Chains A and B, each alone.
Chain A
Amino acid sequence: MSTVTTGPDPARAATPSVAVRARDLLGCEWTKFRSVRSTYWTLAVAVVTPIGFSVLVASAFAASPPGAAPVDPLLPGLLSLEYAVIAVAVLGVLSFSSEFGTGLIRTTFAAAPRRRAVLAAKAAVTGTVTLIAGEVVAFSSFFAAQSILAGHHLGVSLSRPGVPGAVLAAGVLLCVCALIGVALGAIIRHTAGGIAAAIGVIVLPAIVALLPAPWNGRIGRFALLDAARQVTALHPQPNLLAPALSLLVLLAWPAAALLAASVLITRRDV
């Protein structure tokens, strides 16, 4: 209407490019991410506990007699990560569920009506931070465990073929679980429900290991943590998928969850 005397000035109203709008949303989500305490608590749990835990596991391995059943020298690092995945999944769930819980999501979607872009920005921020945290944890755990195992029969060097890839993949596991958390937070929109669902998706499939053979392997090869073990082990299990395929399974979980979230997020009233 022509009687509007105030309004956006033309320069500001000029349509910004997609790249500029993406940067804006990333900046917004980064500010939210770094401005609440829960971020630091969950990250501290995700980083500190696995490093400590891998030292404990490695010590137990080192104490076992040389003739005992062979174990994978990379297992301490991975086992310890399986506790960190819950912490980062909580971090991911909170990115959405805390906004749904408080009603802040309405402010967010009013500021950015393209809701899938909000989902992408949250996933990018949480995913990037947890990937970095995951690699820090994976390498720290590896070196901590190896400093104990080195004097025993289980010592391996980072330069040994297959080791760098396995350690890198262990770091990716945290990012994968955080992204599943982000997606479940957007889908379930409730903190407790989202966390419960994340634990269900990430941990519960491990139950299939209790199935009688060969079904434990046939189904278990698609379970998230079993796929993660294949990718991060020096000696992969023969009854599960090959590491390359397991990596695909590992990445398919967050991809599927985020896809479901992106479908639902635009359809629902908030």
Chain B
Amino acid sequence: MIELDRVSKRFGPVVALDDLSFTVRPGHVTGFLGPNGAGKTTTMKIIIGLDAPTSGTALVNGRRYDRLIRPLHQVGTLLDATALHGGRTARLHLASIAQSNGIGRHRVTEVLRLTGLEAVADRRVKGYSLGMKQRLGLAAALLGDPPILMFDEPVNGLDTEGIGWIRQFFKALAAQGRTVLVSSHLMSEMALTADHLIVIGRGQLLADMPTAQLIASNARHDVLVRSPRATELVSLLTARGATVTPQPDGALVVTGLDAAAIGDLAAAHGIAVHALVPRQASLEDAYLDLTGESVDYHGTMPAMPADQGPVTEGTPTR
């Protein structure tokens, strides 16, 4: 269990974390979501005592991390997979970490096997791909067989097979009753991995709820309608209690009536309908709705044709 109680962190004038409180419980994979710069890494660094909070406390299993003796038996962390000395082999890298916490050599071999690195264990890590470094970071986090595990963006650099593998790995760790906190800036990734989500933006807590609930409470359902007699259709729809938002290109976005009801209504009045598209807001949209206000670095969209262009992932410019 990880508990944050009113944690704030300032870097000079910049407020990185603002009165952040949440609890991460065992037995679940908890997703820790937020746009780049939201404060995810800073939060994790405070939990393991690398950064000192300006105010507030962070506890692991009820104790401050920097008070723990042999902490790797309590908490395993992967912050940055590339934080390695390139000239050292994976085995000696792990051996040095293991030694610092009184962990034996056989456990080093064990975690190398668990993460599929046995065959390359005696190579210098400078030759490793990012995916292999992620596996090595995972191996290091598992050395002490800890009940609490934290991973910062562990999916970066993994191939499709690796991503599937790591998802199952997290679920298995949670199923063993461990506390698993996994950060990501990709909602889609977390939707597949996490049972519970903690969403932050600009250092503030935006949501802390089960994944399913977050989707249900933020998802929007609407219908995209195109018709040559749009103006007439709008008055008919609003008379039935629907909310209609005309789009710049002449399309109508209708909420409050489903596609069948809209189609029947149009047919009853002899109005031709050229498009009738039920739309379900994706999880990504729900996430963008939550964090849209709190994104620090907005990209701009390249100029696009008047019609709906493809929406580029990761550029929440709404």
B49's contact among A7, A36, A99, A113, by CB below 8 Å, is which? A113
- Whether A27 touches B99, Cβ cut-off 8 Å, given contacts A3-B26, A3-B27, A35-B92, is yes
A7's contact among B89, B102, B147, by CB below 8 Å, is which? B147
Judging by beta carbons under 8 Å apart, are B177 and A31 in contact? no
Q: Which of A20-45 contact B (CB under 8 A)?
A: 20-21, 24-25, 27-29, 31-32, 35-38
Q: Does B264 contact A (CB under 8 A)?
A: no
Give the one of A27, A32, A37, A111 with max B CB within 10 A. A111
Judging by beta carbons under 8 Å apart, are B144 and A37 in contact? no
Q: Does B66 contact A (CB under 8 A)?
A: yes
Judging by beta carbons under 8 Å apart, are A270 and B26 in contact? no
Task: Closest A residue to B66 by CB, please name it.
Answer: A113
Q: Does A13 contact B (CB under 8 A)?
A: yes
Judging by beta carbons under 8 Å apart, are A269 and B51 in contact? yes
Q: Does B72 contact A (CB under 8 A)?
A: yes
- Whether A5 touches B176, Cβ cut-off 8 Å, given contacts A25-B100, A113-B49, is yes
Task: Closest A residue to B27 by CB, please name it.
Answer: A3
B138 nearest CB across to chain A (Å): 13
A102 nearest CB across to chain B (Å): 5
What is the size category of the interface that chain A forms with chain B?
A: 35 or more
Q: Does A12 contact B (CB under 8 A)?
A: yes
A6's contact among B67, B83, B97, B178, by CB below 8 Å, is which? B178
Judging by beta carbons under 8 Å apart, are A36 and B99 in contact? no
- Whether A4 touches B100, Cβ cut-off 8 Å, given contacts A102-B84, A103-B82, A104-B83, is no
Chain B positions within 8 Å of A16 at CB level? 69-70, 102
Chain A positions within 8 Å of B68 at CB level? 113
Judging by beta carbons under 8 Å apart, are A36 and B25 in contact? no
Chain A positions within 8 Å of B181 at CB level? none
B69's contact among A15, A110, A269, by CB below 8 Å, is which? A15
Q: How many angstroms from the CA of A35 to the CA of B121 in the assembled complex?
A: 13
Q: Which of B46-80 contact A (CB under 8 A)?
A: 48-52, 61, 65-75, 77, 79-80
Judging by beta carbons under 8 Å apart, are A104 and B85 in contact? yes
Judging by beta carbons under 8 Å apart, are B73 and A13 in contact? yes
Chain B positions within 8 Å of A83 at CB level? none
Q: Does A64 contact B (CB under 8 A)?
A: no
B71's contact among A3, A28, A110, by CB below 8 Å, is which? A110
Judging by beta carbons under 8 Å apart, are B45 and A111 in contact? no
Q: Does B1 contact A (CB under 8 A)?
A: yes
Judging by beta carbons under 8 Å apart, are B69 and A6 in contact? no
A24's contact among B1, B27, B49, B102, by CB below 8 Å, is which? B102
Q: How many angstroms from the CA of A24 to the CA of B100 in the assembled complex?
A: 5
Q: Scoring B residues 135 to 179 as 1 if CB is less than 8 Å from chain A, else 0, what string do you get?
A: 000001000111100000000000000000000000000001111
Judging by beta carbons under 8 Å apart, are B97 and A28 in contact? yes
- Whether A12 touches B73, Cβ cut-off 8 Å, given contacts A103-B83, A107-B140, A113-B49, is yes
Chain A positions within 8 Å of B144 at CB level? 8
Judging by beta carbons under 8 Å apart, are A106 and B45 in contact? yes
Task: Closest A residue to B70 by CB, please name it.
Answer: A16
Q: How many angstroms from the CA of A104 to the CA of B92 in the assembled complex?
A: 14
A252 nearest CB across to chain B (Å): 31
Judging by beta carbons under 8 Å apart, are B73 and A8 in contact? yes
- Whether A31 touches B71, Cβ cut-off 8 Å, given contacts A24-B101, A270-B50, is no
Chain B positions within 8 Å of A210 at CB level? none
Q: How many angstroms from the CA of A98 to the CA of B50 in the assembled complex?
A: 18
Q: Does A1 contact B (CB under 8 A)?
A: yes
Judging by beta carbons under 8 Å apart, are B1 and A1 in contact? yes
- Whether A1 touches B69, Cβ cut-off 8 Å, given contacts A32-B88, A35-B89, is no
Chain A positions within 8 Å of B177 at CB level? 3-6
Chain B positions within 8 Å of A25 at CB level? 100
Q: Does A109 contact B (CB under 8 A)?
A: yes
Q: Does A211 contact B (CB under 8 A)?
A: no
Task: Closest B residue to A32 by CB, please name it.
Answer: B96
A176 nearest CB across to chain B (Å): 26
Give the one of A8, A15, A29 with max B CB within 10 A. A8
Q: Does A264 contact B (CB under 8 A)?
A: no
Q: How many angstroms from the CA of A15 to the CA of B27 in the assembled complex?
A: 26
Q: Which of A126-170 contact B (CB under 8 A)?
A: none
A-B contact pairs, 20 of them (CB 8 A): A4-B177, A6-B176, A7-B74, A7-B147, A12-B102, A15-B69, A16-B102, A24-B100, A24-B102, A28-B100, A31-B92, A35-B88, A36-B88, A106-B80, A107-B79, A111-B72, A112-B101, A113-B66, A114-B66, A270-B51
Q: B interface vs A, CB < 8 Å?
A: 1, 25-27, 45, 48-52, 61, 65-75, 77, 79-80, 82-89, 92-93, 95-97, 99-102, 140, 144-147, 176-179
Given contacts A4-B178, A104-B85, A110-B75, 5 further A-B contacts (CB under 8 A): A4-B179, A21-B69, A24-B102, A103-B82, A111-B101
Top-8 shortest CB links A-B: A103-B83, A5-B177, A28-B100, A113-B66, A7-B147, A31-B96, A35-B92, A27-B99
